[in-house]
């Protein structure tokens, strides 16, 4: 029989590390499609970076004169949406350092404070958004849906801000005595000139001067419609020993008056537009209600009462009167836009601040805040710490009380 040569199996020798390792059949090969996609994305990234570098070099080389502070300022005008107020809970107390005379305002749901050296904006959570230097002995804040304006009453400069930074600043030749701003950012500044007792400069939201109104009368107050399409000036002059009040309305880009109203024997105090239904002029002896064309709708004479305070809102006017010269009995009267009385009742305490916001009237006294509904006349009161300087309305359920070193947020239960 033929014998088979049998090989005895021995131990396996280790692989030689110098030899290349062959891939096993079980390992997954590289996917050619995804490999090509990865290579293309890398090339695209490098190409984008190269184009960006070329664009920057061309811009700096050929458009160097256009890279200015003003152009960068315009770039920042509308980049502040992310800095709007928090949508969550508001903090109970926001504290700040003393800074002399102060002005307070709500700007896009944020607390704004102008002191004698700085303008500071805080989010509702208490976080500081920004703080910019502004020197003024009597700072006054004016806010709108777009910008925040601060001017030095009796001084010469004003500045405009958004929620990120200062956008515009200007110094005038004569003292500033007032300013107003519309929701679209249009604003007007009241000053004077060498030849005129009053001068009103009207600017659009790009800070271009679009109107100049010069008067030989003293302008006491001014107002802008919410859309910025009409300017109202309340002024007076003396004639034959009497005060003569003049109300004039202007449309931007049209130098002629849209309407003019005059009446004698009354000193003007303030004026303001309602939402879309005319305006009101507050005097020392009467409230006068007008339609959109400047026609007098109704007049409310004070009689023997003396006016303490008044505020004009979109849906009406509230006035606080002292009814008794000897005593301290005060009354609150709320009017609609036509001059009809919606509420009339006694309020026993002194009025520190007054606001007509939405359908509610808020009155700050030494010890409480009184809220009155102009719709049904319901009244609610909230006890507060004395010493508050200003009342700001945050929303229908929340108001802020501004003190010398802190602002307190209050949400009444009712």
What is the total count of domains within the chain?
A: 1
Q: Is residue 326 part of a domain?
A: yes
Spatial distance between the Cα atoms of 282 and 269, rounded to a whole number of angstroms: 6
| pLDDT value at 125 more than 50 | yes
- CA atoms of 332 and 345, how far apart (whole Å): 6
Distance, in Å, from the CA atom of 157 to the CA atom of 372, rounded to the nearest integer, reads 38
Within-domain flag for 315:
yes
Domain of 319, in residue numbers: 305-414
Tell me which of 1 and 383 has the higher pLDDT: 383
Whether residue 149 lies inside any domain: the answer is: no
Over residues 294-316, the pLDDT tens digits come to 999 999 999 989 999 999 999 99
Which pLDDT band holds residue 9 (cuts at 50, 70, 90)?
very low
- Determine if residue 106 is left, alpha or beta; phi over 0 gives left, psi from -120 to 50 gives alpha, anything else beta: beta
Look up the CATH number of the domain holding residue 324.
Answer: 2.130.10.10
- At 71, the pLDDT band (50, 70, 90 cuts) reads low
Across the chain, what does the average pLDDT equal?
A: 87
Check residue 25 and give its pLDDT: 47
Q: Are 132 and 119 in contact (CB under 8 A)?
A: yes
In a domain, residue 309? The reply is: yes
Strand-by-strand arrangement of the 379-383 sheet: 353-357, 360-364, 368-373, 379-383
Domain assignment of residue 150, yes or no: no
Task: For residues 126-143, give the mean pLDDT.
Answer: 93
Asked whether residue 60 carries a pLDDT value surpassing 90, the answer given is: no
385 in a structural domain: yes
Q: With 80 as the cut, is the pLDDT of residue 88 above it?
A: no
Confidence of residue 100 (pLDDT cuts 50, 70, 90): confident
Secondary structure letter of residue 65 according to DSSP? G
* Residue at 343 is within a domain: yes
pTM over 0.75: yes
**Tokens linked to 81:** 């949406």
């Amino acid at each position: 029989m033929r014998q088979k040569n049998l090989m005895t199996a021995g131990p396996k020798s280790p692989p030689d590390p110098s030899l290349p390792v062959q891939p096993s059949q079980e390992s997954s090969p590289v996917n050619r499609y995804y490999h090509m996609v990865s290579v293309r994305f890398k090339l695209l990234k490098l190409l984008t970076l190269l184009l960006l570098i070329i664009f920057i070099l061309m811009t700096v080389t050929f458009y160097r004169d256009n890279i200015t502070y003003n152009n960068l300022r315009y770039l920042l005008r509308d980049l502040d949406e992310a800095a709007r107020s928090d949508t969550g809970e508001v903090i109970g107390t926001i504290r700040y350092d003393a800074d002399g005379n102060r002005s307070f305002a709500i700007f896009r749901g944020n607390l704004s404070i102008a002191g004698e050296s700085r303008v500071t904006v805080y989010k509702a959570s208490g976080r500081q958004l920004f703080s910019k230097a502004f020197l003024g002995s009597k700072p006054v804040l004016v806010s709108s849906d777009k910008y925040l304006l601060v001017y030095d009453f009796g001084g010469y400069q004003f500045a405009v801000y958004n929620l990120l930074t200062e956008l515009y600043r200007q110094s005038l030749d004569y003292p500033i005595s007032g300013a107003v701003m519309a929701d679209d950012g249009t604003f007007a500044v009241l000053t004077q000139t060498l030849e005129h007792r009053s001068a009103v400069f009207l600017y659009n939201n790009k800070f271009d001067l679009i109107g100049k109104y010069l008067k030989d009368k003293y302008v006491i107050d001014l107002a802008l419609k919410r859309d910025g399409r009409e300017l109202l000036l309340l002024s007076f002059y003396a004639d034959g020993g009497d005060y003569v009040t003049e109300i004039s309305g202007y449309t931007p880009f049209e130098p002629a008056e849209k309407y003019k109203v005059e009446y004698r024997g009354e000193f003007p105090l303030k004026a303001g537009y309602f939402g879309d239904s005319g305006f009101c002029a507050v005097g020392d002896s009467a409230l006068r209600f007008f339609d959109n064309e400047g026609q007098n709708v109704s007049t409310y004479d004070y009689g023997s009462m003396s006016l303490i305070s008044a505020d004009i809102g979109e849906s009406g006017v509230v006035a606080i009167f002292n009814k008794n010269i000897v005593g301290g009995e005060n009354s609150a009267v709320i009017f609609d836009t036509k001059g009809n009385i919606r509420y009339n009742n006694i309020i026993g305490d002194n009025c520190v601040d007054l606001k007509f916001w939405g359908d509610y009237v808020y009155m700050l006294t030494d010890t409480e805040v009184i809220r009155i509904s102009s719709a049904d006349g319901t009244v609610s009161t909230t006890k507060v710490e004395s010493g508050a300087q200003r009342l700001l309305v945050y929303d229908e359920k929340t108001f802020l009380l501004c003190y010398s070193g802190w602002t307190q947020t209050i949400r009444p239960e009712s």
